[in-house]
Amino acid sequence: MSRQIIRVLGIAILALSVSACTAKKNDATKKTEGATKVEKSAKRGAAAKDAKAAKGAKAATGPIARVNGVEVDRIEFDRKFKKMTRAFTKQGKEIPAGLSQRYKESILKQLVDKELLNQEIKKKGVNVGDTALGAEFDNYKKMFRTEDNFNRYLKSSDINVDTIKNNIRHNLAVKTLLEKAGDLTVTDEDAKKYYEDNKKRYEVKEQVRASHVLIKVSDKDDAAKKAAAEKKAKSVYKLATKKGADFAKLAKENSEGPTKSRGGDLSFFTKGRMVKAFETAAFGMKVGQISKPVKTQFGWHVIKVTDRKDGKQRTYEEVKDSITKLLKNKKSRRAKAELLKRLKASGKVETFLPKAPKAAPVKAGKLGRKLPSNLIKPTPRALPKIAPGKGKVAAPAKKAAPAKKANGK
């Protein structure tokens, strides 16, 4: 091969090598530039996020509201919110955004209302003496029955005696303020009229207390299983009706319902609470009687009636005090609401609670929750509509199909 050809080949190989190196360099440069752009973008995003967080933190340090120029501290707001949401935080669960916002709005309203009332109490010169405060505090403690119960409440509720007394003092002052503003007296005629108009409310229905042994069986079971369940129920009945038989022990040993652990005890119930066949048998027996096996959609029941309470109409004298207290509380709530309405209309209330983000629309679907496993007749479930501004449940949007009765106890 001539020297000329060798020289040409060498030049070509060198050119290819240079070209390859240049391409690699360009690729490396592009990757570096791309990585730099991504890194810069990430830094910009992080900076924006930090700025947003800083802005939120700054907003959270100010007052939660301002009432007639008086600031309402956010510390009390945060304390109440923490207490209200403790059930979620203890379980490590996230509070649904909508529920969280409702909690916050409710707490904010309480704090604003309290500040408005405190300002009016001060303006009207209402004072609560130590004697009245002490008597009301003693009545409050009586609810706990013992000092130990009261101390346990203080510990579990993260509250102290001074806070309780301050709340009692405020409530007594509000009561005095409302009494000065209007007549909250309830006459005997008022109470009697309420009683006559609401007699059914003071009707005590007949009640039965019963225990039972349940042998489960359903219509879907085959003939052999159905026969075996009936045979076992009859056997339990024979054992239960023997002299000296311990029904609670038989229930613990043989029952297949959730009341098994407490000897089959269902406690007291009124008519309309249990499935028809069970109810008919239970209300048709005397105390101490045991039924032959009763068939329901849950299986076979051997029932023992352990106690009864006859129905009666409570007299006016029996319920007079409770009615008077009820009517006084109604008048007081109405007067308080009217007073707050006037105070808000004549004053200036500023609130600084951020608006909740719009929740994503929920897709329509079937309710998949299972009914409880008991004899009590379930209420048909339907999705109710909330009447705007009323706080009452309106009629369901669509008529719900009747729910199936639940499994037996």
**Domain edge (last residue) among 61, 82, 110:** 61
Q: What pLDDT digit, counting tens, does each position of 218-256 carry? A: 999 999 999 999 999 999 999 999 999 999 999 999 999
Highest mean pLDDT among 35-39, 48-52, 239-243, 376-380: 239-243
Same domain for 181 and 328, yes or no, is yes
Mean pLDDT, all residues of the chain: 81
Rounded Cα–Cα distance for residues 250 and 247 (Å): 5
Q: What is the pLDDT of residue 394?
A: 38
Instruction: Flag whether pLDDT at 51 surpasses 60.
Output: no
Mean predicted confidence (pLDDT) in 140-154? 94
Of residues 257 and 399, which shows the higher confidence score?
A: 257
Q: Tell whether 4 is covered by a domain.
A: yes
Q: What is the pLDDT of residue 357?
A: 66
Q: What is the pLDDT of residue 182?
A: 83
**Domain edge (last residue) among 310, 332, 358:** 310
Whether residue 381 contacts residue 349, with contact meaning beta carbons closer than 8 Å, is answered with no
Instruction: Flag whether pLDDT at 257 surpasses 60.
Output: yes
Same domain for 160 and 240, yes or no, is no
Q: Tell whether 68 is covered by a domain.
A: no
* Structure confidence at residue 360 as a pLDDT band (50, 70, 90): low
Same domain for 83 and 178, yes or no, is yes
Same domain for 178 and 286, yes or no, is no
* Structure confidence at residue 60 as a pLDDT band (50, 70, 90): low
Q: What is the pLDDT of residue 4?
A: 53
CATH number of domain containing 141: 1.10.4030.10
Q: Tell whether 153 is covered by a domain.
A: yes
Q: What is the pLDDT of residue 3?
A: 52
Same domain for 53 and 81, yes or no, is no
Of residues 357 and 106, which shows the higher confidence score?
A: 106
Q: What is the pLDDT of residue 47?
A: 45
Lowest mean pLDDT among 51-65, 179-193, 198-212, 377-391: 377-391
Per the structure, the complete domain to which residue 25 belongs is given by 1-61
Q: What is the pLDDT of residue 381?
A: 46
Same domain for 56 and 87, yes or no, is no
Same domain for 81 and 188, yes or no, is yes
Same domain for 188 and 291, yes or no, is no
Q: What is the pLDDT of residue 18?
A: 44
Same domain for 241 and 103, yes or no, is no
Same domain for 101 and 189, yes or no, is yes
Q: Tell whether 369 is covered by a domain.
A: no
* Structure confidence at residue 393 as a pLDDT band (50, 70, 90): very low
Q: Tell whether 77 is covered by a domain.
A: yes
Q: What is the pLDDT of residue 157?
A: 84
Same domain for 36 and 79, yes or no, is no
Lowest mean pLDDT among 185-194, 366-375, 385-394: 385-394
Q: What pLDDT digit, counting tens, does each position of 173-208 carry? A: 999 999 988 889 999 999 999 999 999 999 999 999
Q: Tell whether 400 is covered by a domain.
A: no
Q: What is the pLDDT of residue 400?
A: 45
Mean predicted confidence (pLDDT) in 109-120? 96
Lowest mean pLDDT among 35-39, 231-235, 332-336, 386-390: 386-390
* Structure confidence at residue 87 as a pLDDT band (50, 70, 90): confident
Rounded Cα–Cα distance for residues 331 and 333 (Å): 6
Q: Tell whether 358 is covered by a domain.
A: no
Mean predicted confidence (pLDDT) in 21-43? 49
* Structure confidence at residue 375 as a pLDDT band (50, 70, 90): low
Total number of domains in the chain? 3
Lowest mean pLDDT among 231-240, 293-302, 350-359: 350-359
* Structure confidence at residue 91 as a pLDDT band (50, 70, 90): confident
Mean predicted confidence (pLDDT) in 366-395? 44
Q: What is the pLDDT of residue 27?
A: 52
**Domain edge (last residue) among 268, 289, 310:** 310
Q: What is the pLDDT of residue 183?
A: 83
Q: For 405, phi and psi rounded to 5 degrees?
A: -70, 150
* Structure confidence at residue 303 as a pLDDT band (50, 70, 90): very high
How far does Cα 3 stand from its chain's mean position?
Answer: 97
Q: Tell whether 267 is covered by a domain.
A: yes
Same domain for 122 and 177, yes or no, is yes
